[in-house]
Structure 1
């Protein structure tokens, strides 16, 4: 029994150091987890901001496409009018030349 008591007494500092190491490890793991959470929050915030910017850019793109379509229609109308005005001018020149 004396040997058992001596052995436990000799191992007591090792058990204490192991317990302290486990406590430190638990605190480090908790700190690391909280940092990861903070990092994830930053990443989520950045992703959210980028999504907002993307949605804004897509809305601007759609608006620009509608404007381009509107201008294209107007351009086609003007081209049609120019063609007819040129034809009418040529006919008027021919009539004046024939007189």
Structure 2
């Protein structure tokens, strides 16, 4: 066999390997693309999760603030109610004393 024939035979024998190498490179490129897309999606998802967590923390802080305000208001109203109850009991006693004085 001549050198050029050996070279052609070798090229023909290596064609399937070259083809598989090209397919592997293409497949590798697809995998890289998919991974990049997933990474971008994960980053977006992570950003959204962080944003939601921030909003949740803000809502919890607002809820705590509102709860504290409501508790202070309830305490204020309870104190006012106690004062009014005290005044009512004195007024009722004074009314009874006045009724007793009128009866005698």
Identify whether the pair has TM-score above 0.5, normalized to the shorter chain: yes
Aligned residue in 2 for 1:85: 91
Aligned residue in 2 for 1:56: 62
- Please show how residues 1-99 of structure 1 align to structure 2 within 5 Å: 5-98=11-104
Quick check: which has more Rg, 1 or 2? 2
* Superposition RMSD in Å: 1.6
Q: What number of residue pairs does the alignment pair up?
A: 98
- TM-score norm. by structure 2 comes to 0.86
- TM-score norm. by structure 1 comes to 0.90
State the 1:46 CA deviation.
1.1
Whole-angstrom distance in 1 between the partners of 2:74 and 2:16: 87
Whole-angstrom distance in 1 between the partners of 2:71 and 2:101: 45
Aligned residue in 1 for 2:3: none
Whole-angstrom distance in 2 between the partners of 1:70 and 1:62: 12
Give 5+ residue unaligned stretches, structure 1: none
